[in-house]
Chains A and B, each alone.
Chain A
C-alpha cells in the first residue's frame, strides 16, 4: 500500500505541479499534504465500498483561500522549526514520529508504548505546543 500511495502521490505532484505556490507553503509541506490526503481518501474508499466518492469534501487548505495557509511558513520559521524538532525530548519526538510517519492513533500509540492514553495525548500536546511557539509569526 505504501508503494502504491507513493506512486499515486508522485503522479499527483507531477499533474498538479503548476498549482504549487511557494508563497503559500514549503515544497515539503505541499508534498506531505498531497500524500496525506491520498492516504485519507483511500481510507474513506475502503470504509465506504460502493459509496459516492463525489460527496467527499475537500481537505482543509484545498480550495480554501485562507490567509493562515499563506503566511505560516517563512524561511526563518522553517529553519527554526527544523531545529526545534531536532531538540524535542526523546520520548516526545518518538510519539510525534509515530503519529506522523506511522499514522497511528493515540490509542494505538498508548498500547504500543505501554502508557495511559491521557499521558500520550498530553506528551503529544506538549511537543506540538513547544514546536508551535516558534513557528507562528505575525501575518
Chain B
C-alpha cells in the first residue's frame, strides 16, 4: 500500500514522544506499517527525542541513587537475556489467512472473517472497540456509493483507509491513506461505487451531527 495522504507532522511528534493514547497509536501504527514516508519522519522525530533526552540534566539524590543502583544490581543478577521466539510469531501470523493489520489485533481480532459487524444506518456498519482511555476506536464499513452523515468534530479524528476508498471535502482517500483531521473540519465521507470502504478511526471527542436522525444514531452508537 502506498498512500498519498499522510500523518500530520504534529501527530508524528506525539507518536515519537509517547504522547498518544494506546488506541490512537493503533491507528497511527496501522498507517506506518504501509507508509515508508511517515516511517522516515517518525525516525527523525525519534532522533529529536534522543537529543532532548541527552540534554536533560539528571536530578541527583545520592541516597535514592544508591538505593536504586543496588536494586538494579539485584535485578541484573536475577534476569537472564530474554529473546522473543520468532517461530511463535510467524506461526501465529500463518494461522491467520486474512489478517487485519497487526496493530489492530488487541482491539478487534486477528482475521477479517472473525469481525462481527453491527448495522447502524442504511449501508453503514461499524464495530466499536473497548477503549479504556476514553478515545473512540471504531471499524467502519460503508457500502459502495453510500455515505456517513455530515458531521463535525469536537476533537481530532484519525481515519485510516484499509480497503476501498472514499471522498469528501478533503479529497479522495484510498487504501493506505490516512485522514488526520482537527476539530475545524466538517465532512461527509462518501464511499466509492466499486466496492465497500472499510476504515479504522479513532476520535478523541464526540462527533457533532446536525440532523435529528443522525443525532439519534449518535446516541445509539456512542460516537
Residues of A bordering B, CB below 8 Å: 3, 6-7, 10-11, 14-15, 25-33, 35-36, 39-40, 43-44, 47-48, 51-52, 55-57, 59-61, 64, 66, 68-69, 72-73, 78, 81-82, 85, 96-97, 99-101, 103-107, 117-118, 121-122, 124-125, 128-129, 131-132, 135-136
Contact = CB atoms under 8 A, between A and B. Distances in A.
B22 A47 contact: yes
Contacts of A27: 50
Interface of B: 8-10, 12-14, 16-22, 25, 29, 32, 36, 39-56, 64, 68, 71-72, 75-76, 79, 81-82, 102-103, 105-106, 110, 132-133, 155-156, 182-184, 204
B106 A131 contact: no
A72 B47 contact: yes
A26 to B, nearest CB: 6
Nearest to A73: B47
Contact of B40 (A30, A31, A68, A101): A68
Contacts of B16: 36, 100
A79 to B, nearest CB: 10
Contacts of B43: 25, 61, 68-69, 72-73
A29 B54 CA distance: 9
A35 B19 CA distance: 13
Contacts of A128: 9-10, 12-13, 45, 48
A105 B106 contact: no
Contact of A32 (B8, B40, B49, B82): B49
Nearest to B40: A68
Contacts of A14: 76
B17 A103 contact: yes
Given A36-B46, A69-B39, 20 more contacts: A6-B68, A25-B47, A26-B50, A43-B18, A44-B106, A60-B42, A68-B40, A81-B47, A81-B48, A81-B51, A82-B51, A85-B48, A85-B51, A101-B52, A101-B53, A103-B17, A104-B19, A124-B10, A128-B48, A132-B9
